[in-house]
Structure 1
Amino acid sequence: MNTGSLDLKSVGPRIRMMMPLLTPLEAKVVDTVFGLRDFNEDTTLKEIAGEAGVSEAMVVKITKKLGFAGFREFRNAVALYNQLPTSEMHQELSPDDTSEEIIQKVFHTSIHALQETLAILDVAAFDRAADLIHRARQRDFYGVGGSAQIARDVAHKFLRIGIRSAVYDDANMMLMSASLLGGDDVVVAFSHSGNTTAVIEAVQLARKNGARSIAVTNYDTSPLAQIADVVLCSTAQGSPLMGENAAARIAQLNIMDAVFVAVAQRNYRAAEQNLQRTMSAVNSKRKDRMP
């Protein structure tokens, strides 16, 4: 990893995205580093190994597994990342927090997730996703639980500009959908962990039938990301009370809001006309429009 040209905001997210590839012991070492309040460019390899209860050789091995040349490059990158103003935004929620503290922490966590997601977002992948959605004959969105809610929000936005899509949140329905897709179609799969079996199996079947696939996930090393044609990654730090999903959901919605605008831009006149038509169709249902 070339830290000289690296956006420092992306250091934390890129390390977090690699965590699923680590063993529990290796992950514990990384958590130890990020848990040290006084971690800086002078922190020694021996200190980290002692704090984590592992050998120095293992610490070096982990830093290389994370994409760094060695411990020194890893230490310098993390130390600089920790000095960023945004690194102070993520604060753990506590049962003893006041209402004001809860509001501040929840909002700051979401802002933090947005800023770091922006730092790691692959523009080339973003453009490719917009092209696939724009050109597709059929667009099927897959997601389970909270991810299904993101899929529905995105489908609603696209319908407003005349881009029709279908949302599936049931394992059997996703497989039925995938069995009918072909080379002119695209699947957009939402999964925070990238490990949701129902979504992965449906994407595999869709791809087998020739459809293209877009994964929206928090981990670019996840099983879902590995099989997708295009990967759009969000990033969010975990919290015992909120988990990662809450802040990641905000980041994924923003990614897809941007994709929505990019798709609309590809045929702006049609998008504008369809937006006027769909808005006109529902205006009569607004209370402030009724006589």
Structure 2
Amino acid sequence: MSAAMRKIADVVLDDPSAPLELSITELADRAGTSPATVTRFCRQLGYPGYVQFRVGVATDSGRGDDSDAEGWRIEMGRTLDPDDSPDDVLRALLNAHVRSLRATADVLDLDAVTQVALRIAAADHLDIYGTGGSFAMADEMRTRLYRIGVNAHSWGDVHAGLASASIQGPQTTAIGISNSGRTRETIDMLARAQRSGAFTVAITSFPSSPLAQLADLSLLASVPEQYLHPADLSAKHSQLFVLDVLYLIVAQQDYSGAAAKIAASADAVAARRRPD
């Protein structure tokens, strides 16, 4: 690191909670550097920016404190307080979710998204892997793509996912979804698909994570400032935003065919709806 970056590192090592308490400008002032240098420091460590760096610090350093106040701060974020009114909670949540979508839009590589969409549209078989909340996103994407004619499958159980990954090939695509990019099951499934010859894609918040480093291409779904635990719904909204963009570009590749399939499937279930 440069001398200026080492000053920031010294501050963080001396006081690991500093990024949780200080804005980017305040941290720069304490280290005697500039906010731009803090941003470069975060990127050198593999984070897209200061927001993601703060989330990483909170995740790595905060869980060992047993105090109620500190536990709340780490799990729920310093912007929310146990005594906040419902209106305060609503506004903080709205702000967090909007920030996550804007941050994702700012860092999303549309050239990479388009390349992935073309691979999906041409694939003989698509696997989408994820666990926990990320599996919900994987299954949602599988449902959407299947309705427009993509041979898509979603896997949350590692045994079933590994079995499917083992029969992939050069004409297939596999996507792994993990906010942290460190979920072992998702990494293992995507790695097996890659060894089988599939084109692999990671959707994660951390470009330096094992999942992102493994994949042929990675798409960033950014998370907001630490309003809530990093696994909260704002992270899922970011993932869903990336998946929405990807889905629509896939549908554009055969718009008339996709529209016809959506209409046919809608007609098939129309009788299951109650009248007004």
Which structure 2 residues correspond to residues 243-258 of structure 1 after superposition, within 5 A?
A: 243-258=230-245
TM-score by length of 1: 0.72
Question: Residues 242 and 288 from structure 1, CA distance in 2 versus in 1: closer, same or farther, beyond 3 angstroms?
Answer: farther
Residue of structure 2 equivalent to 1:148: 135
Distance 1:111 1:99 in 2: 18
**Are positions 1:132 and 2:119 aligned together?**
yes
Distance 2:255 2:210 in 1: 35
SS at match of 2:187: helix
Question: Residues 23 and 176 from structure 1, CA distance in 2 versus in 1: closer, same or farther, beyond 3 angstroms?
Answer: farther
Residue of structure 1 equivalent to 2:42: 66
Distance 1:26 1:66 in 2: 12
Q: Deviations over 1:255-281 (max 9, x none)?
A: 111111100101111111111111111
Q: Give the alignment partner of residue 228 of structure 1, picking from 215, 218, 223.
A: 215
Residue of structure 1 equivalent to 2:31: 48
Name which of structure 1's ranges 199-208 and 153-162 shifts more when overlaid on structure 2.
153-162
Residue of structure 2 equivalent to 1:36: 22
Q: Deviations over 1:145-176 (max 9, x none)?
A: 00000011111111222223111101111110
Gaps of 5+ in 2: 1-7, 51-76
Distance 1:198 1:283 in 2: 38
**Are positions 1:212 and 2:188 aligned together?**
no
CA contact (8 A) 1:125 1:230 kept: yes
The sequence identity of aligned pairs, in percent, is: 26
CA contact (8 A) 1:178 1:205 kept: yes
Which structure 2 residues correspond to residues 1-291 of structure 1 after superposition, within 5 A?
A: 26=12, 32=18, 35-36=21-22, 39=25, 44=29, 47-48=30-31, 65-67=41-43, 92-237=79-224, 239=226, 241-288=228-275
CA contact (8 A) 2:173 2:198 kept: yes
Gaps of 5+ in 1: 1-21, 50-55, 69-73, 76-89
Question: Residues 144 and 204 from structure 1, CA distance in 2 versus in 1: closer, same or farther, beyond 3 angstroms?
Answer: same
CA contact (8 A) 1:33 1:39 kept: no
Q: Deviations over 1:71-130 (max 9, x none)?
A: xxx99xxxxxxxxxxxxxx97221111111111111110000000110011111111111
SS at match of 1:288: coil
CA contact (8 A) 1:162 1:275 kept: no
CA contact (8 A) 2:97 2:224 kept: no
Give the RMSD, CA atoms, in angstroms: 3.3
CA contact (8 A) 1:220 1:233 kept: yes
CA contact (8 A) 2:201 2:219 kept: yes
CA contact (8 A) 2:178 2:204 kept: yes
Distance 1:28 1:191 in 2: 31
Name which of structure 1's ranges 108-117 and 232-241 shifts more when overlaid on structure 2.
232-241
TM-score by length of 2: 0.76
Distance 2:215 2:208 in 1: 11
CA contact (8 A) 2:12 2:18 kept: no
